[in-house]
A and B are shown apart, each in its own frame.
Chain A
Amino acid sequence: MSDLVLLLVTGLGLGALYFIAASGLSLIYGLMGVLNFAHGAFMTAGAYAGWLTMDALPESWPTGSRLVLALLVAVVVGTVIGVVVEVVLIRPLYRHHIQQVLVTVGLSLAGVAAAQGIWGSDPRPVDKPVWMTTTSDVLGARLPNDRLVYVVAAVALFLGLMALLHLTRLGLVIRAGVENRTMVEALGINVRRTFTVVFAIGGAAAGLAGVLYSQYAGAVSPAQGGSLLIFAFIVVVIGGMGSLPGTAVAAVVVGLVQQLANYYAASGVGDLSVVLLLALVLLLRPTSLKGAPA
């Protein structure tokens, strides 16, 4: 029983990370139809920004407050990168979806290579607050505290994004844009400015995901963002391409399936079972996933 609780919570923590990584992708895809391959590079940038911040701050500070500052810096860096990339690279290719994907592919290659050139390809260890390395007893299971942090962060992000989408005027425009972009434009609303905002939100979420994933892995490395991105893609597809609640549910399911399969079958089977899950969803419900025509 305690094993199961432990697995469920660690799976939930993993799913929370997947959700944070996938939420930005899903928003951007839903509104703009852009598959952002550079999202992995955004996450890597956030992870390195966080790592550099934690290194730059004096050792005497408690690690927890350094981590909070690192998160803030990473979110700001992610936002700035998102805005710059949207304005400089994505906007001129408006309505050329394939070219937009290609540009983000080039960006992801160049970004990872740049990080590799500056900081080397070896993983660099990251400081972790002591509390996050310990466990707490719940229902007889010793639960690692860091998973709880990820879950709290993901829930906060989810509620924040839902509030943004459903309670503000900006959210109204975004939702309307996902529904029918041409109509929103015809009503005289500047959808392009909304694109920039959505990219900024996506970048911020990517920065957050980058730091939290580097905490999860205990290190930063250039390839980190890319490996998280693959699972984020799978989550976005299973979640129905562009729906935030769908993405949340899919993230939890993927995290749980991966963790349970890794424990009850063999380590490494979890990653495969996620892909099998994807194939199954595609075979059973392909119509809900058609996606916007490219």
Chain B
Amino acid sequence: MTSSTQTPPAVRASTGGPDSPDGPAGTQPRSSRARVLLRAIPALVVVAVLAYLPYVAAELPGILPGRVNGPGSMQLLATCLVVGGIALSYDVLFGRTGLLSFGHALFVAAGSYLLTISLSTWDLPLPLAVGVALGLSTLLALAVGAIALRVGGIAFAMVTLAFAQAASIVVMRNPGGLTGGEEGKPLDRDALPGLLVGVSNAPYRYWLALGFVVVAWVFVSLLVRSRAGHAMAAVRENEQRAAVLGFGTYRVKLMAIVAGSFLGAVGGAVHALVLGGSNPHLTTSEFTLSLLVMVVLGGAGHRWGGVLGGVLYTYADARLVEVSNAGFLHSLPEVVRQVLSQPLFILGAFFVVVVYFAPSGLTGLGGRLIRRAGTR
């Protein structure tokens, strides 16, 4: 956005001032539209390549388990993408509005569990089940957000954490056999369209995940460019000033929570479809914390940050175990090997390093490197 706000003076100078009839008002929209199209090309290329992956039969030893279009790789990539989209939904709160919420897992889990329960226990048809899951999750976000927003700053973080924890306890207690307790709850396979079930249909679940990421990305991009998005940014930068300017900051923050949670619930529902059920890990505070880690790793408030962080984190979490078996580690002492065998240890330590040395995350770091290379 900064480059487009810098252009008007130059345009004005060349067309002879703001009074000229075909001045900035006439030229700017077209050039900015062209720029938007230009900037969308890398994204379209990435999506096209990702959409083509299920037709690639090559093996990438060490990077993916088995063939690229094999069920194992497809499932791993689909999970990475879904979590990337969920991280993007958390960025609506954290990166875009400056709300440090530790309760986002609650709404993701609500989307996931409500879908599974409406399909498997209440025997609803799929479209209705999705509607019920998203509707109830959004209502929940409205209620929890309305209460939690009565306090600000760090207290808000603690309160959201407590609510998520309450939900986690409920899910673990398995009331009336509804949530399946620690085992999680599987989706009723008969209630789903055939394309989403079975090992051989992994590519369809992958495309579903990819579709979710694209929708989430477009949703967040549109939201950020809208009036509401500007109000969110104003609240993030300086809440007092935003309040003085006449924004109802409470309403803006509540709106951000509801929008982010809605997207998170969609992610939870897709997560349930991709993994064939709901897992209590989604409700834990550890999951919320990992969402925070993903967003900061990728770059909070950056258009690619959440997705990149989520995909990388999930991939690393799943694949770093392989690293601990690598040959060059065998010379290390036993204790060091044991510690390094824990993906979360490496990710946690790496996260601390990123907070120190790349506060704007990997996307910010990448942008900085590109700019530096350009000036040389």
Contact = CB atoms under 8 A, between A and B. Distances in A.
Interface of A: 29, 33, 35, 37, 89, 92-93, 97-99, 101-103, 105-114, 116-118, 226, 230, 233-234, 236-237, 241, 268, 271-272, 275, 278-279, 282-283, 286, 289-294
Contacts of A241: 154-155
B302 to A, nearest CB: 16
7 contacts: A106-B351, A116-B342, A117-B338, A117-B341, A118-B335, A230-B285, A293-B152
Q: Taking each of B153, B173, B292, B349, which has the highest tally of chain A beta carbons within 10 Å of its own beta carbon?
A: B153
A283 B153 CA distance: 16
Given A109-B293, A289-B151, A292-B154, A118 B338 contact: yes
A35 B100 CA distance: 12
Nearest to A286: B150
Nearest to A285: B150
B159 interface: yes
Contacts of B339: 113-114, 117-118
B162 A107 contact: no
A226 B285 contact: yes
A23 to B, nearest CB: 16
A283 to B, nearest CB: 6
B365 interface: no
B169 A271 contact: yes
A275 B166 CA distance: 6
Interface in B333-373: 335, 338-345, 347-349, 351-352, 355-356, 359
Contacts, number: 140
Interface string B140-169: 000000011011111101110111011001
* Interface class of chain A by DSSP: helix
B114 interface: no
Given A37-B289, A237-B162, 16 more contacts: A89-B352, A106-B351, A109-B347, A110-B347, A110-B349, A110-B351, A113-B345, A114-B345, A117-B341, A118-B335, A118-B339, A233-B162, A275-B166, A282-B150, A283-B147, A294-B152
Contacts of B258: none
A237 B169 contact: no
Contacts of B344: 109-110, 112-113, 116
A230 B161 contact: yes
Contacts of B340: 117
A280 B193 CA distance: 44
Contacts of A289: 151, 155
B215 interface: no
Q: Taking each of A33, A110, A236, A286, which has the highest tally of chain B beta carbons within 10 Å of its own beta carbon?
A: A110
Interface in B106-122: none
A99 B152 CA distance: 17
Contact of A102 (B163, B169, B355): B355
Interface in B51-93: none
Contacts of B347: 109-110
A23 B292 CA distance: 26
A275 B151 contact: no
B161 A233 contact: yes
